[in-house]
Amino acid sequence: MRDRNALARVLDQIDGRGYPAYRQLRGRYRLGPVDLAVDHVAADPYAPPSRVRLILDREVAGIPEDLTRDAVGRMAVGDFLTRAFVRAAHRLVPSPTGTGNSGLVSIGTPGQEVLERTGVLIADDRVEARIVVGLPAHGRRIDGRGAARLLIDVLPRIAEEALRFRNLDGAALRDHVTLCRDQEHLRHLLTERGLVAFVGDGAILPRRSGDSDLPLGDGAVPFRTPDSLRVLVELPSGRSVTGMGIPEGVTVIVGGGYHGKSTLLRAIERGIHPHIAGDGREWVITRRDAVTIRAEDERAVTGVDISPFITNLPTGADTRSFSTTSASGSTSQAANLVEAVDAGASVLLIDEDTSATNFMIRDERMRRLIPAAEEPITPFVDRVRPLFTEKGVSTILVAGGSGAFFDVADHVVAFHAYQPRDVTAEARGIARTSTPAAPGPVFAARSAPRVLTRGSLTSSGGGKPARARGRAAIQVGDGTIDLQAVAQLVDAAQTVAVAHALERIAELVADRDLPLPEAVAEVCRRIDEEGLDWLSPFRGHPGHLTRPRPHEIHAAVNRYRGLRLG
C-alpha cells in the first residue's frame, strides 16, 4: 500500500497532463488513520465521476457493536453516517472550480426515509464510505494541485468527521438506531394484530409543497385518531405510541377537497419505509408489501390475466393473457392491480384522483342504460370484496366523488380540516345495497405464473446494459421503461438498483425459462445473502445503490416493451 507522499508525487507528475493520466491514481493509499482507495477513474471531466472509497479499521471507527448487531441497526448506522458525510462535505469541500464535474464529492442524497444503501459499508473489520469524486481539471487537463488538496487534505478530514464515533453525536446516533428499530418492530406487529397500516397521534402528514418531501411547518395540523380506531403499541425501547390502526379489509377514506384524505394516503404510501426523526411521519407505518395502484395510459402490457376486470372485448382479444403496446386507463389499472397481487402485495393503495373512473365504478343509471352483457369492464367496486375474501388482499381507497364503495367497505373514515372521524355507521346507513355480488369465485383459480423465456430481457441496443435515467426511467437498449407511475420508488439510487436487477434477471434467463416471481425472488435472495453490492457489476466500489422492494423490480420488468413470455 502506498502512502501520502507517493500520492502527492503522482499528482505532481501528472499536473497539467491530459485527463486520462489520472488513471495512474488507481490503487490504495494510507493517509493517516484513513485509507483512500481509487477504484475507477473517469476518462473525461464530463463523464460520470470517479469512484473512490474512504476506509477506516473498525476499531479506529469505534462504532459500538450493539448498534450494528442486526440488519436494522446496520441500515440505521449506515444512514446516519451517510447524512454526517453529506453535512461534512458540504462544509469542507471547496466550491467547485474547473470544468465538468471538477471538485464534486458525493455520497448520494438521502431523503426523509431511512433506506438500505451502498454509500456506507459497516463490516466486521472496517467502515468505508463509497463516494464519487470529480477529479479537478482545467479544460481536459489535470489540476494536480487541486486534486492534492481534495484527495490528501479534504477527503480524510471528512472521513474523520463523519465515520469516527468519537467525532459524532453519539446520543443522536443511538436515538436514530432506536427509532428505526422501534419503527420496524411496529411494522412487524401489523400483521399479528390484523392491521395493514398505523398512523400515529401527533403525526404531521402535509408536506411543505408539491415538490418537497419536507414536513409542513406553520399551520400544520397534528393527526388525531378517532377513539374507535385507536391502538396502543408498546415498543422495544420502552416507549409506547398510540394511533389509528387501519384493519385488514376494505377501508374507504372520504372528505371534501383539500381536507387531507389524499395527504393521508400519500403518507401511508411512504410508510413502507422508516422515516427520520422530525419528518412528521415517523409513526406512519405500513406493511412492506403495500402497493400503490394507478391508471397509466399508454403503458405496455404483456401476457397479463386481466379477466377478473375485463372480458368479452369486441376485438375478441383473450384477456386471460392480455397484451398491448398502449393500454387505456382502465386496462392499465387492471394490469397494474393484477401484477401487484401476483408480485405478492397484501395491500392496495388507490386514490380515485389517479384512477380511471370506468375501472372504479359504474353507477345505477349507466348499468340500466348499458346492460352488463354489453360492458366488458367489471368495475373494481364489484371486485374489491372478493379480492379480500379470496386472495386476502386489503384495500385502502380515497373516494371524494362517489359513495359507491360504502356498500362494500369495512370501515369509512371522513376527513375534515385534516382531522379524521370514523363514519362507518353513517356510511352504512346511507348505502344502498344495489351493487351486484360477483358470481362465483373470481380470484380463487388463476392462470399459472408468467414465465420469462430465454433471452426475454436481452437488450435490443447492441448489448448495452440497462441504465437508470433519474428516478422514473430505465433505458434498455434503444427503449425506455417508464416508471413514473411506480409511486413508491422514492430515490433515483433505487432505480439504479432496479436497472442492475434487470441485468441479473437477464442472466438468470439467458439459457432457461423461468417464472417471473421465481426470477425476482432469486435476485432478492442473493441480495439478502450477499448484500446490496451483489447487484452491481463493479467490484470494490459498487456505485450508489439503494435497495428497492421486489414489487418495484416486478414493475420494471412488466413495463419493458420488449418483454417475451412463454
Is 389 in contact with 249 (CB distance < 8 Å)?
no
The runs of H, that is alpha helices, within 119-169 are 144-148, 155-163
Residue 462 grid cell: 447492441
Question: What is the amino acid identity at position 344?
Answer: G
CA-based nearest residue to 37, from 178, 159, 145, 125: 159
Q: How far apart are CA 36 and CA 27, in angstroms?
A: 8
φ, ψ at 8 (rounded to 5°): -65, -40
Which value, to the nearest 10 degrees, does the dihedral of the CA atoms of residues 206, 213, 190, 351 take? 70
Q: How far apart are CA 125 and CA 503, in angstroms?
A: 31
Which value, to the nearest 10 degrees, does the dihedral of the CA atoms of residues 455, 461, 465, 471 take? -110
The runs of H, that is alpha helices, within 47-199 are 58-61, 71-92, 144-148, 155-163, 170-192
Q: How far apart are CA 534 and CA 44, in angstroms?
A: 27
Report how far apart, in Å, the C-alpha atoms of 397 and of each of 204, 211, 333 are. 20, 23, 14
Is 119 in contact with 144 (CB distance < 8 Å)?
no
Q: What angle do CA 191, 195, 197 make, to 5 degrees?
A: 110
DSSP helix/strand/coil, 452 = strand
Residue 226 grid cell: 378517532
Which pLDDT score, from 0 to 100, does residue 461 have?
44
Would you call 457 exposed, middle or buried from its count of C-beta atoms within 10 A (0-12, 13-18, 19+)?
A: buried
305: left (phi over 0), alpha (psi -120 to 50) or beta: beta
Domain boundaries, the chain: 4-168, 188-445, 451-559
CATH superfamily for domain 188-445: P-loop containing nucleotide triphosphate hydrolases (3.40.50.300)
pLDDT in tens, the chain (566 residues): 899 999 999 999 999 999 999 999 999 999 999 999 999 999 999 999 999 999 999 999 999 999 999 999 999 999 999 999 999 999 999 987 889 999 999 999 999 999 999 999 999 999 999 999 999 999 999 999 999 999 999 999 999 999 999 999 999 999 999 999 999 999 999 999 999 999 999 999 999 988 899 999 988 999 999 999 999 999 999 999 999 999 999 999 999 988 999 999 999 999 999 999 999 999 999 999 999 999 999 999 999 999 999 998 877 788 999 999 999 999 999 999 999 999 999 999 999 999 999 999 887 777 777 777 667 899 999 999 999 999 999 999 999 888 899 999 999 999 999 999 999 999 999 886 555 555 567 776 666 789 998 888 765 445 688 999 999 999 998 889 999 999 999 999 999 999 999 999 999 998 899 999 999 999 999 999 999 999 999 989 999 999 999 999 999 999 999 998 98
